[in-house]
Amino acid sequence: MKNKRYIVVDLETTGNQATKADKIIQFSACIVENGQIVDQFSTFLNPEKRIPPFIKELTGITDKDVKDAPLFEDVSSIIHSLIDGGIFVAHNVSFDWTFLQKEMREAGEAPLKMKLLDTVELARIMYPTVDSFKLQDLADEFGLGHDAPHRADSDARVTAELMLLFIEKLETLPLATIRKLTTLAQHLPGYLSELLFDIEMRKERALQPLESKWIEHRGIVICNKEVQQAQYSRAEHAIYPESDAKKIALFQKTDATLVPREGQFQMMDTVMTSWENENNALIEAGTGIGKTLGYFLPAIYFAKERQIPIVISTYTNLLQSQLFHKDIPLLQKLTDFDIQAVVLKGREHYINLFKFEQLLSEVDKTHDVVLTKMQLLVWLTETLTGDIDEVNLSGGGYLFWNRMKHTGWFLSQKKDPWLLYDFYLFNQKQANVADLIIVNHALLLQDHFSETKLLPDYEYAVIDEAHHFTDAAKSQQSFVFSYQRMKFFMNRLGMRTKDGMLKRLEVLFPEQHQLFDVEIAVVKLEEALEDFFSQLAQKLNRATKNVTELILVENVIDEKLDEALFFAGEKVLLLIREISVALDYVLEQGKNVTSKFSERESAFLEEVYSFGLDWKRVEKQLSVMLYEKEEAMTLYIEADKNKARGSMRLRANIIQVSHTLQHDFFDTKKSVILTSATLTVDDSFHYMQVDLGLDEDIVTQQIKSPFHYEENARILIPTDMLPVKGTPMEQYTNKLAAYLSAIAKETSGRMLVLFTANDMLQKTYRKMNQDPSIAEYRILGQGISSGSPARLTKQFLAFDKAVLLGTMSFWEGIDIPGDDLSCLVIVRLPFASLEDPYTKAQIALRKKMGQNAFQTYSLPEAVLRFKQGFGRLIRREEDRGIVFIFDNRVDTTNFGKAFLHSIPKVPIVKAKEAELLEEVKNFFE
899 within 8 A of 707, measured Cβ to Cβ: no
- The per-residue pLDDT for range 559-590, each reduced to its tens digit, is 888 899 999 999 999 999 999 999 999 888 88
- Tens digit of each residue's pLDDT (9 = 90 or more) over 206-231: 888 999 999 999 999 999 988 877 66
DSSP for 195-216, written as a single string: HHHHHHHHHHHH-PPPPTTEEE
d(Cα 323, Cα 915) in Å, to the nearest integer?
45
Q: Is the pLDDT of residue 257 over 80?
A: no
pLDDT band of residue 789 (cuts 50, 70, 90) is confident
Q: What is the DSSP letter of 773?
A: G
Read off the pLDDT of each residue in 769-794 and give the average, rounded to a whole number.
85
- For residue 272, the model assigns a pLDDT of 97
Is 285 labelled a binding residue? yes
Q: Name the phi and psi angles at 575, rounded to 5.
A: -70, -40
Those residues with Cβ within 8 angstroms of residue 330's Cβ, 6 or more apart along the chain or in another chain: 254, 256, 293
Taking residue 146's Cβ as centre, other Cβ atoms within 10 Å add up to 19
Mean pLDDT of 226-248: 75
pLDDT score, position 526 = 93
Reported as a single tens digit per residue, the pLDDT across 628-656 is 777 788 998 988 877 788 888 999 999 88
The model's pTM is 0.85
781 labeled binding residue: no
Residues 6+ apart with CB under 8 A from 419: 413, 425
Does residue 551 register a pLDDT over 90? no
The predicted structure's pLDDT at residue 572: 96
For the beta carbon of residue 324, count every other beta carbon within 10 angstroms: 17
Q: With DSSP H G I counted as helix, E B as strand and the rest as coil, what are the percentages for the chain, rounded to 5?
A: 50, 15, 35
pLDDT for residue 541:
84
The answer to whether the CB of 383 falls within 8 A of the CB of 390 is yes
Please tell me whether residue 434 adopts helix, strand or coil conformation.
coil
Decide if pLDDT at 455 tops 50: yes
Residue 230, pLDDT score = 64
Position 580 scores a pLDDT of 94
377, 355, 364: which is closest to 176 by C-alpha?
A: 377
SS3 (DSSP) at 684: strand
pLDDT for the residue numbered 545: 65
pLDDT of residue 672: 97
Sorting pLDDT into bands at 50, 70 and 90, what band is 687? very high
Q: Express each pLDDT in 47-82 by its tens digit.
A: 888 888 778 877 888 888 888 899 999 999 999 989
Residue 730 pLDDT:
92
Known binding residue 590? Answer is no
- Which positions ≥6 away from 550 have C-beta within 8 Å? 539, 540, 543, 636, 637, 837
Cα separation, 831 vs 834, whole angstroms: 8
Question: CA 56, CA 307: separation in Å to the nearest integer?
Answer: 63
- Picking from 750, 702, 716, 767, the residue whose alpha carbon sits closest to that of residue 902 is 702
The rounded distance, in Å, linking the Cα atoms of 532 and 159 is: 51
String of b and e for 669-694 (b: at least 16 CB within 10 Å)? eebbbbbbbbbbbbebbebbbebbbb
Residue 775 has a pLDDT of 85
Of the candidates 355, 367, 347, 346, the one whose C-alpha atom is nearest the C-alpha of residue 403 is 355
pLDDT by residue (tens digit) across 155-169? 999 999 999 999 999
What are the CA-CA distances from residue 594 to residues 40, 354, 515, 587, 601 (Å)?
62, 16, 19, 10, 9
Please check the confidence at residue 813 and state whether its pLDDT lies above 90. no
Q: Is 108 annotated as a binding residue?
A: no
Specify the amino acid at residue 27: F
Ligand-binding annotation for 291, yes or no, is yes
β-strands 341-343, 649-654 pairing: unpaired
Note every long-range contact of 392-395, with CB atoms under 8 Å and residues 24 or more positions apart, other chains counting.
Answer: 392/124, 392/128, 392/129, 392/130, 392/131, 392/132, 392/133, 394/124, 394/368, 395/368
Torsion sign over Cα 867, 871, 877, 879: negative
As a whole number of angstroms, the distance between CA 612 and CA 591 comes to 15
pLDDT tier, 9 (very low <50, low <70, confident <90, very high otherwise): very high
pLDDT value at residue 900: 94
**Which whole number is the average pLDDT over 31-40?**
92
Sheet (strand 479-482) strand order: 479-482, 649-654, 633-638, 549-553
Mean pLDDT in residue range 812-827:
86
Nearest to 171 by CA among 125, 202, 216: 202
Are the CB atoms for 535 and 568 separated by under 8 Å? yes
Coil, strand, or helix at residue 566?
helix
The overall average pLDDT reported for the chain is 90
Looking at residue 59, its pLDDT comes to 81
Give the SS3 label for residue 173.
coil
pLDDT band at 235 (very low <50, low <70, confident <90, very high): very low
What does the alpha-carbon distance between residue 36 and residue 164 come to, in Å, rounded to a whole number? 8
Q: Is 286 annotated as a binding residue?
A: yes
Q: Which residues of 371-409 are buried (b: 16+ CB within 10 A; e: fewer)?
A: bbbbbbbbbbbebebbbbbbbbbbeebebbbbbbbbbeb
Quote the radius of gyration of the chain (alpha carbons, Å): 30
Which value, to the nearest 10 degrees, does the dihedral of the CA atoms of residues 193, 195, 200, 203 take? -170
Please state, for a pLDDT cut of 90, what percent of the chain lies above it: 58
290 known member of a binding site:
yes
- Section 494-513 average pLDDT: 84
- Residue 160: which H helix or E strand, with range? helix 152-172
> What confidence score (pLDDT) does residue 383 get?
95
Q: Confirm or deny that 288 is annotated as ligand binding.
A: yes
